[in-house]
Structure 1
Amino acid sequence: MQPTEHDEMTAVVSHFPHLIASALVHQARNWEETHDRLPVLAAGGFRDITRIASSNPTLWQDIFQHNQSKMAPLLQNWIREMEYLYKLLKENDKHAMTVYLEQAKTYRDGLQSKHQGAVPSFL
């Protein structure tokens, strides 16, 4: 594997999810101003998807800065993805939303959690 290929793939499955997890935490924090009991409701799903936002901020800022050329296009792609989801919700396109969710489920279910990846699991 070439270093550029490694950096791009790592940005997609490691660095970018950290950025998104942090953004989800900020969104919840901002909504807490409207709903002060929001943290009480933040249970398993929210905690699971945002776990990585608890990592070392200085380390991650350095990672983001070092990989800015990979991260910026990923963020632009994410914005387009969110615009598409917004359209599905706004138009109440149940069929397209179901297809979207089915495709995500199929891809996610294909990621073998017990499969030995590039970095060994210590769990």
Structure 2
Amino acid sequence: MNITIVGIGLIGGSIGIRLKETQFGEKIIGVEKNEANAKKALQLGLVDEIQPLDDAIASSKIIILTVPVDAIMNILPNILDKVTDQVVIDMGSTKTNILRLIADHPNRGRYIAAHPMAGTEYSGPEAAIPNLYKDKVMVYVEAFKTDEDAFERADAMTEQLEMKTTFMTAEEHDMHTAYVSHISHLTSFALALTVLEKEKSQGRIFELAGSGFESTVRLAKSSPDMWTPIFKQNRDNVLEVLEEHIKQLQKLYTKLDKEDYDGLHKLIKKSNKIKRIIK
């Protein structure tokens, strides 16, 4: 069984590494429009060969889409037009618009929407790492609309990645990811912009940057080519969580501005309740 990975960066490349380790497929085929990335993916052994998309579809049983969500929107209908018994797995970070796009496609049953809740702030083939997915969660979205044999094939691959699984609707998925993933990136981007703006007049500011700053701002190194489409596709949910985030920042600002340190202490203590969720 050949497996095709469309987009060989952090997500796709890390899948390639693991599937080659476990010998889950006979051949791992890469589809990559960036020639430099395609060459690097071959050099790093992330895939066995590079093929054009149409050739890869014809020669594979599993087709994994790990390109940005706007690219998935562009190529998914065409891929579904060409499949027969293949399984197409979309691993994008938003789902509602994608699922709406192909809802009435005659080959809808050969498609499964999945989202591996794993990643780093790096991108490109060099960012791919072994065990990126180990013990992380794979979210299946509206899996009940996928043919049984197609789901079983996809889930067998998820087992090779050593992932846990959960099931959601598209609306649940996009709302939850806005709160636990998308807002984290927006906050990091904003903090980076804040400090970079200050650095223009205070050039030595980064001399004091320690591990706390580094851990908070590291997501600002994430690719704008990936994250701008995510914010676009999940705009309503991201705006909702961003509005709430701004409200909480305003509360902290007001307490400090009014020198209400008891109130500030209470807000910080309330925030500590997150320890019940994140160990």
TM-score category of the 2 structures, normalised to the smaller one: 0.7 to 0.9
Partner in structure 2 of residue 71 of structure 1 = 238
| Alpha-carbon separation, structure 1, partners of 2:267 and 2:258 | 14
Q: What is the total number of aligned residue pairs between the two structures?
A: 112
Q: TM-score with structure 1 length normalisation?
A: 0.84
After the TM superposition, which residues 1-123 of structure 1 pair with which residues of structure 2 at under 5 Å, given as runs? 1-107=168-274, 109-113=275-279
Larger strand proportion of the pair = 2
| Alpha-carbon separation, structure 1, partners of 2:217 and 2:193 | 10
Larger RCO, structures 1/2 (Cα 8 Å, 6+ apart): 1
C-alpha RMSD over aligned residues: 1.2
User: 3-state SS of the aligned residue for 1:61?
Assistant: helix
Q: Quote how far apart the aligned CAs of 1:43 are.
A: 1.5
1:42-84 Cα offsets, whole Å, 9 max, x none, are 1210110111111111100111111111111222222222221
Equivalent AA in structure 2 for residue 62 of structure 1: P
Equivalent AA in structure 1 for residue 202 of structure 2: H
1:16-61 Cα offsets, whole Å, 9 max, x none, are 1101100000000001022110111112101101111111111001
Larger helix proportion of the pair = 1
Partner in structure 2 of residue 120 of structure 1 = none
Equivalent AA in structure 1 for residue 260 of structure 2: D
Q: TM-score with structure 2 length normalisation?
A: 0.39
